[in-house]
Amino acid sequence: GESVGLHLPTLSVQEGDNSIINCAYSNSASDYFIWYKQESGKGPQFIIDIRSNMDKRQGQRVTVLLNKTVKHLSLQIAATQPGDSAVYFCADLSGGSYIPTFGRGTSLIVHP
Amino acid sequence: DAGITQSPRYKITETGRQVTLMCHQTWSHSYMFWYRQDLGHGLRLIYYSAAADITDKGEVPDGYVVSRSKTENFPLTLESATRSQTSVYFCASGQVRGAQHFGDGTRLSIL
C-alpha cells in the first residue's frame, strides 16, 4: 500500500521510550482539538481529544497538552511500542464549524 | 457491526470512465465527509453533508459529484475519471462538534 509517511517529519524512538509529537495550529478561534493515528493502509483513527477549557487530558498511555497562548498542541505517548508506529496528525475546529483543519502529520517509527 | 464501511477497497479504471465510491455508516451521524489523501497534500476535503439531501463543496470538488438520499449513505461519483484523480479516498462521519470517524479508504488508480 501507499506510504503516507513520505515527505512528513519523522520521529524515531526506541521501544519503551516516551514519544512527544507536536502540532501547531493557526486559528486562534479554535476550541476543539483531536489527535488521530493512521497506520499504513488504514484510515485515520481517533486517539484523544481536548477542548479549549482544558490544558491537559490523559488517556491510556497518551496525554494531550494544549497551550493556547502559542497555539500549540502535543501528544505524549508513554512506553512507546512497535504497534504505535504510524502517522499522527492533529485537527482543530473553531466554534460553530464542524469542518476540522487537519495538520500534515508526523511519522512515528518505533524501533524494537 | 457499527462503523463506517467503504467499498470497493481497491479500484482500477480508465480515464473517462464513471466511478462511484460507496460509503455507509451505522452510527446515524448527521455529518459525512469525503476526503482524498495524496503524498505531499495530506487530507483534502472534497464534499461534505450536514444531513440527508444537504451537501456542500469542500476544498477540491471539481470532477466529483455526491448525493445523500439517506442519512447512512454518502456515495462519491467521479463523472469522467482523470489520472489526477488517482488517490486514496476516505469517507468520514461525525456529530456536530465531535471527532470524525473514518473508513479504511478506497485506493483508486486511473490509467
Q: How far is CA B108 from CA A55, A61, B21, in A?
A: 40, 35, 9
Interface test with A, best of B6, B60, B100 (most A CBs within 10 A): B100
- State whether A2 and B107 contact (CB < 8 Å): yes
pLDDT given for residue B1 in this prediction:
55
How far A13 CA sits from the closest chain B CA (Å)? 23
Q: Per-residue pLDDT tens for A47-84? A: 999 999 999 999 999 999 999 999 999 999 999 999 99
Q: Per-residue pLDDT tens for B42-54? A: 899 999 999 999 9
Q: Are B48 and B67 in contact (CB under 8 A)?
A: no
Give the pLDDT band of residue A7 (cuts 50, 70, 90): low
Q: Does A102 touch chain B (CB under 8 A)?
A: yes
> CA B77, CA B63: separation in Å to the nearest integer?
9
Give the pLDDT band of residue A91 (cuts 50, 70, 90): very high
How far A26 CA sits from the closest chain B CA (Å)? 17
> CA A40, CA A17: separation in Å to the nearest integer?
22
Q: How far is CA B90 from CA A37, A110, B93, in A?
A: 14, 26, 10
Q: Are A7 and A106 in contact (CB under 8 A)?
A: no
Q: Does A46 touch chain B (CB under 8 A)?
A: yes
Q: Per-residue pLDDT tens for A20-57? A: 999 999 999 999 999 999 999 999 999 999 999 999 99
- State whether A98 and B50 contact (CB < 8 Å): yes
Interface test with A, best of B97, B101, B109 (most A CBs within 10 A): B97
Partners of B9 in the β-ladder: none
* Average pLDDT, integer, range B55-66: 96
Q: Are B34 and B66 in contact (CB under 8 A)?
A: yes
In this structure, what DSSP letter does residue A35 have?
E
> CA B108, CA B106: separation in Å to the nearest integer?
6
Phi, psi dihedral angles at A12 (to 5 degrees): -110, 130
Give the pLDDT band of residue B109 (cuts 50, 70, 90): very high
